[in-house]
Every structure is written in C-alpha cells, then in structure tokens.
Structure 1
Amino acid sequence: MNSKLLPWQAKLWQSLAGRNQQAHAYLLHGPAGSGKRELAECFAAFLLCRAPVAQQPCRRCTACKLYAADTHPDLIRLEPEEAGKAILIASVRDLVERILQTSQQGGRKVVIVEPAEAMTTGSANALLKSLEEPAGSTIFVLISHQLSFLLPTIKSRCVLQACPLPTEQESVNWLQEQQPELSVEQCRTLIALASGAPLYAKKLLADDVLTVRDQVVNGVKQLFKQQSTPSELAVAWAKIPQELLFDWFCQWAQLILRYKITEDESQLGLADMRVVLKFVASKAPLERLLETQDWLLEHRQKVLRRVPLRADLLLEGLLVRWQALLPR
C-alpha cells in the first residue's frame, strides 16, 4: 500500500514522527475527510520501517516492501465488518490475541483502529487493558471523526493529536490537482458542501453531489411554495444519505440565525440558497428557529450514532418543522 502525506500535514507529521520517544497509543481526531487515515498509514509505515531516514521510512528494507505490498504481518487494521456498522467485541478479542503473539518481523506491531467511535461499549472496554499496557512493542493508532462519542477511558490512554482541516485555499488547490477538469469555482463549491474537508469533497464529487444538491434545493423551494408536501419530498429523498441532508439543514439553520442577528448577506453561504435563507430569516420567529435548530442538532447526533430510526418518518419530521418556520 502506498502512503503519502497530504500537503497540509507537515506540522502534524513533525508532532508524530519527530518525537524522541514514541507513545504506546495515539488518537488522531478531527473532521471526517481531513486526511487522518492517510496520516495514520504514513505513520504506520514509519513505525514499521527498520531503517528510517530523516523521519521518513526508507522504503528499501523488508518491512517497507511488505508494507507497500499490503502484506506486513505486524500491521493490523481494526474496522467494522461493514461501513457504518459497529466494531464488535469479538473482533477486539481477536485483535488482543494477535498482539499477544511475537512480532513476526522482530520489530514493532502497529494497530490502526478506524473509526474508534464505532466500538461498542463492550468492545471499547475489551481494548482498555491492551491500550494501557500493550504487549511487546505494539503501538496503537486510533482514528476518530467524532471525539465526543469516545469513552473517556479510551481517550485518557492515548496521546491526542488534533488533525484540523486545511485552509480553503489549500483544499481548493489539492482538489484541483486531483480533479483538473474542475474549475476553481466548482472546487470551492464542493469544498463548501464538504464543510471544508477536501477528501470528503472528492468523495462527494464521485457521488454526484452537485446533482443531489440541486434536487434538495429545488425541493426546499417547492416546500415553501406548497408545491410539494413533506411526505412527498421524504419519498423523493429516500436514497440521499441522511448525514448529508442533516449537515445541510443544520448549516442552513445556523446561517438563518446568523443573518437574523447580523443582516450580513455575505454570511448566507452558497448562492443557491441565499434568497431562501434571507426570506426565512425575515419571516421566521426567533423562538421557532431556535427550537428547529435544537431538533436538527439532536437528530443529527442520532444519525451520526447510527441510532435505528425510520428514515421516512425522520425526513418527514424534518420537513414538517422546516415548513413550519414560515407562519401561515
């Protein structure tokens, strides 16, 4: 497997590879799509290398060649069996058994856990002793997109390394290098839709997010004009990821509240919703806006935590509250 640092990760790399003595467990945390997994893979390659040079893996030793081929026996990745599912206690117990064994290459063992918040309470507790006293020379690298979801006992056993988003310009430059067919304006739009996360923006592009965005924006306008009902839109949006919808509606609620206080049109977000948001801000009672925002944030957390909810009823509830922002 090839691993390459992203352009904005130089300081993060120095914080990890530049340490005089490596810790037994690290927790990389920050927004999804900021490049934490790429950083973790680079760090794993560095830790496994038998002859690093200038804080970089040599890429010539046996360990480096095994890593590049994705066959290094002392690199263990712990992930959910299916995306969006939990990391089960059985998987953690299997991991603990593996790290108790002697290193096959005679060096370190490295364990990457992503996303760490996918561990159930039981699986997280099963990992605690190994995190506190790793067998042999094992180093854990945990990755979290939602740090608040992790047990305090997990966080307290790791060196916490924040992985912030790059600047907008760094994100745009990187995305345009990756997708040279895109204009600067298209890159800026995608970065905004991804809340500043460049790798997430690239994924959204692959998922045709610009078409989805048009569908949702047009649906909101139809809702306010009473050309579509909440139940009709809930059916039409059934295949759109709930995380994406809740991200957008939470952003819109925040932008409406900000404009209601500041009346600064430059802070109304992307052009496709500015007129709508300005209109809602002029009509919606502040108390109702605050109630709607609280509901959105509460249910966004449930969506992120994968709480089992009926998708159609959840979306319909969202749209009923959104429509009710405008008094009849």
Structure 2
Amino acid sequence: MHFSRCCWSVQLADGILPWQADLWSLLANRHQHAHAYLLHGPAGIGKRALAEQLMALLLCQHPDAHGACGSCKGCMLLAAHTHPDHYILEPEEVDKAIRVDQVRQLVGFVTQTAQLGGRKVVLLEPAEAMNLNAANALLKSLEEPAGDTVLLLISHQPSRLLPTIKSRCVQQACPLPGRQQSLDWLAGQLPDLSSGEREELLTLAANSPLAALKLHGVGVLAMRMQVVEGVKNLLKRQQSPSQLAEAWNPLPLMLLFDWFCEWAHLILRFQMAGDKAELGAADMQKVIQYLGQKTSAAKLLAFQDWLLAHRQKVLGKANLNRVLLLEALLVQWASLPGPS
C-alpha cells in the first residue's frame, strides 16, 4: 500500500502504542544514548510516533522512566514547535528525494551549540529518500556529531540505505503488531465503525494499523466500494472505460494504481498456485478467480508491465492527463478475459 509514505505521523492521544511498550521501556531507561538510531520497519506501524516520543524524552529537562515530563521549558517549547535544539528533515515534496543542500543545512545545525544547554536532536524521515550525495554528506555527522547530538533516522525500506549509513547507527527494528492487537487498537480509535469495516480497513492497509487510520481519514472505504463496483460493471459491460475514467477522476491516482497492481499480482499468483486462500480482500476474490481462469498469462504479464511503468510516471509526478490515463488502464482491464 502506498499512501503518502513520506510521513505516517498521525495524531495519537494515547502516547506509546501498545505493541511498542517493551521497546519503549528499553529506550526510556537507558542511562546513555547512542549518537544515532535507525528505527526501521514497514510503513504505518508507528515508527514516527516512537521517534517523536524519544525526541521529547531526549529534550526534556526532567525526564523519568515513563518519558518526558511535559511541563518543563524544553517540553513546552517542543509542544509549540519552537524548540531551538530540534530539527526535522523530510523531503520537500511527497515521494521526492532529500537533497544534498537540505543535508548541508542539517549539518550546520549539528555543528551549532545547543541553545538550551542540553541535547540537540535530529529526526530524519524517510532515510532512504536521501540521494547518494545527500547520504554521503551526512556520514561525518553520523559518525561524530558535534556536542551532545542524537540523530533519529526512520526507514521504511532499510535495504535501500547505504551500508555506511547503517553501520554508523544503532539499528533498531520496530515491533509489528499482531492482527488482533491492531484490530483492538483500531476499535479504540474508531469506535463508530463496525468490526467488519475495521477488518476491511486493516486489510487495505496491509495490516499496518496507523496506515488504516490514515486511510479511514480520507474515506477509503467509500472509494474502495466505488472502484470495486466499477471494475465489476466494466467486466459485465454495464459501464464503459470512458464513463468510469470520468467518475474516478477525483480519486487519488496512486491509490488506484496500487489496487490494480495488487489485483494483477493476485491473479498471477492464483494462476500459478491455484490457492483460493490467498486472494486478497473479500470484495474482489470472485473477480480474481474469474480473471485467473479467463486471462492468458502473456496478456496478464503485459498488463502488469504497463501498470508498473505508468505507476512510476505517477510517482515521478509526470504531467499526465488523468482521465486519458485512467481510460487506458480500464480499456486494458476490460480486455483481460479472452484470447491473447
């Protein structure tokens, strides 16, 4: 699932997430902190929330085993986003690179003296967004940060990081919640939804509970219902590609491409393994089976190649005509069943 992965931070009222309790206890009770941490794991499991709690602890003037006090000058300034000794570095645009000049500004901050006389703390997310020059510019600060500076790097895909970046950090895998734990947490966050709706949200978010919460915030269940109904009508020839393309124009383009990429993958897997237990969300299972039986592997692979190529253009913010792109996508979807 791809959805504004540059930042999965959401407003959480209950502090440390339940599945982070053991890790938080370990971090909060350290007498001496590393100069750089790499917090890694899938998107949507709360790494940003954990990093922000750790930043607050490190900048607090009277911390205890539970975390920051919340009432000292440092905590008050941080809550107001005016603390002079914290620095957050992210891509300037979603899905864009962190550039070398951004890292050079960060290095300038690291070399300064802490204005409140305590620590300086840097939060960088996602670390894999740094291009090669930016990553190399950060190496010296990671190895020997000036003064009492702690760098908190967040990564959703640590395999994309330079080995020299990873080797200079204490690498900390962030815990993943179990499905039932995620559902229990979502029940507390979204009590007005039915258990079935929460189940569907979590499935659409690839079992990442914070991603599910964010998807709910943009009305993903209504979008999903509209799209699933549309693709079924298209296969039944009850709607045309041009009609659907116009109707879907307001929907997030990346979300649509992610769903079609997932469906193409599920159809291909069903063709190869015939496993009816791995057909994705319930709303498309019959369609996946039908297309797996009626579509040639060659046609499906060509469709998958087209999807991935155009998804990359969408990611790169190419100047595309949305309606024409969606119409092309739907024409190919409608032509899947039948001979090559």
TM-score (norm 1): 0.86
Return the offset for 1:198: 1.3
Instruction: Kindly provide the CA deviation profile for residues 87-127 of structure 1, in whole angstroms up to 9, marking residues without a partner as x.
Output: 33333222211221111122211000122233333333332
The equivalent residue for 2:318 is 308
Instruction: Kindly provide the CA deviation profile for residues 4-24 of structure 1, in whole angstroms up to 9, marking residues without a partner as x.
Output: 111111233245445564222
Q: Of 253, 257, 273, which residue of structure 1 is paired with 2:268?
A: 257
Instruction: Kindly provide the CA deviation profile for residues 130-166 of structure 1, in whole angstroms up to 9, marking residues without a partner as x.
Output: 1222111111111223334444443333222223531
Which SS does the other structure have where 2:289 is aligned? helix
Q: How many residue pairs align between the two structures? A: 327
Amino acid at match of 2:188: E
Structure 2 counterparts to residues 94-173 of structure 1, below 5 A: 94-173=105-184
| Structure 1, unaligned runs of 5 or more | none
Conservation of the 8 A alpha-carbon contact between 2:44 and 2:211:
yes
Conservation of the 8 A alpha-carbon contact between 1:3 and 1:38:
no
Structure 2 counterparts to residues 11-30 of structure 1, below 5 A: 11-14=22-25, 16-19=27-30, 21-30=32-41
Return the offset for 1:302: 5.8
Structure 2 counterparts to residues 69-84 of structure 1, below 5 A: 69-84=80-95
In 2 relative to 1, CA 150–310 (structure 1 residues): closer, same or farther, beyond 3 Å?
farther
Conservation of the 8 A alpha-carbon contact between 2:120 and 2:149:
yes
In 2 relative to 1, CA 89–239 (structure 1 residues): closer, same or farther, beyond 3 Å?
farther
Structure 2 counterparts to residues 159-308 of structure 1, below 5 A: 159-293=170-304, 295-297=306-308, 300=311, 303-304=314-315, 306=316, 308=318
Distance 2:171 2:256 in 1: 30
Distance 1:53 1:73 in 2: 22
The equivalent residue for 2:6 is none
Distance 1:47 1:159 in 2: 16
Amino acid at match of 1:257: L
Amino acid at match of 1:310: L
In 2 relative to 1, CA 195–303 (structure 1 residues): closer, same or farther, beyond 3 Å?
farther
Amino acid at match of 1:124: A
Percent same amino acid among aligned pairs? Answer: 57
TM-score (norm 2): 0.83
Amino acid at match of 1:26: Y
Conservation of the 8 A alpha-carbon contact between 2:19 and 2:175:
no
Return the offset for 1:294: 5.1
Conservation of the 8 A alpha-carbon contact between 1:46 and 1:52:
yes
Distance 1:172 1:311 in 2: 39
In 2 relative to 1, CA 18–280 (structure 1 residues): closer, same or farther, beyond 3 Å?
farther
Instruction: Kindly provide the CA deviation profile for residues 264-317 of structure 1, in whole angstroms up to 9, marking residues without a partner as x.
Output: 43432322212211111111223443454455456556655x363626365455
In 2 relative to 1, CA 318–152 (structure 1 residues): closer, same or farther, beyond 3 Å?
farther
Conservation of the 8 A alpha-carbon contact between 1:110 and 1:141:
yes
Task: Kindly indicate whether residue 20 of structure 2 is the aligned counterpart of residue 9 of structure 1.
Answer: yes
Conservation of the 8 A alpha-carbon contact between 1:36 and 1:143:
yes
Distance 1:148 1:295 in 2: 26
Distance 2:21 2:305 in 1: 38
Structure 2 counterparts to residues 22-41 of structure 1, below 5 A: 22-41=33-52
Conservation of the 8 A alpha-carbon contact between 1:26 and 1:161:
yes
Conservation of the 8 A alpha-carbon contact between 1:31 and 1:164:
no
Return the offset for 1:235: 4.1
